[in-house]
Each structure stands twice: as structure tokens, then as C-alpha cells.
Amino acid sequence: MSYTEDIARPLIETLSKTAGLPTFQLVGHVPNLAFWMGEVRHVLAVIDGYPKRFEDMVAAQNDFDANCPEAAKSRERHEYEYSGPRRAVRPALADRLSREIVSAADRLVDRCLKEALIDIGKADDLRDIMKSGDRVAR
């Protein structure tokens, strides 16, 4: 699993578990909802930024190869077999993780609304925290 998926899956699980708690336990999590929506925003930024980070990595390796005549030889002498960079997060996985995270976060906010633990204004504020930032259109 990639780092991106490693941080997304536990967040999805945590949000889903929290949304399913009995009301008397859920209420204890309300003060931390802004934190969790910030975590959602962070993971969405990691997902959205992956293509650019991958492109930058490939460009750096290609530049090194072009400017370092010893690059190929150093790969041959290295202890592992070099096979070139491969995408760890394909677009379909990125889309699925993004949808699952937003869905889990929305379920949590909706549950808190349903139980009257937050009002609609707070729910809107939480969703703004989660979705703020420069999302990349897919």
C-alpha cells in the first residue's frame, strides 16, 4: 500500500466508526470535529497532489540519468533490481479514496446534526473546513 492509502484508510475507518457510535459517546467527539475535518482536508490534498509529486520524481530521475553518465552503472551495482518509477496511486484509486473520505465525513456531520449535537451553521462550517483548499478537478 502507498503512503496515500495508508493515511486515507484509517481516517475513513475512524470517521465511519465515530459516526456509528451511540449518542452518549458521539457527543464526546463533537469538540474535535474541526480537527477531523482538517484531517480530511489534509488527506484530500495528499491525494490531489500525488500526480504532481509523481511527475516531479520522474523528472528528477530522468534529469539525473541525462546528466550523470554513471547512473546506469550505479543501478546495475545496486542490491535491488531497478524497474523504474511506477504510480502507487492510480486515478481510479484516488477517486475512490476521495469519495470514501468525503462520504464518511459527511455521514459523521449528518449524524451529529440528526442527534442535535450541532446546528446547521456548525455543519456548514465543518464542511467548509473539510472542502477548503485547492481541490484538483478530475
Do 30 and 116 contact (CB within 8 A), yes or no? no
CA–CA distance, 109 with 58 (Å, rounded to integer): 39
CA–CA distance, 90 with 85 (Å, rounded to integer): 13
Burial 85-124 (b: 16+ CB within 10 A, else e): eeeebeeebbeebbebbbebbbebbebbeeeebbeeebbe
CA–CA distance, 33 with 12 (Å, rounded to integer): 14
Do 114 and 124 contact (CB within 8 A), yes or no? no
What pTM was computed for the model?
A: 0.86
* DSSP conformation class of 136: P
- List, for residues 6-17, the tens digit of each pLDDT value: 999 999 999 999
- List, for residues 54-94, the tens digit of each pLDDT value: 999 999 988 888 888 787 677 667 676 767 788 999 999 99
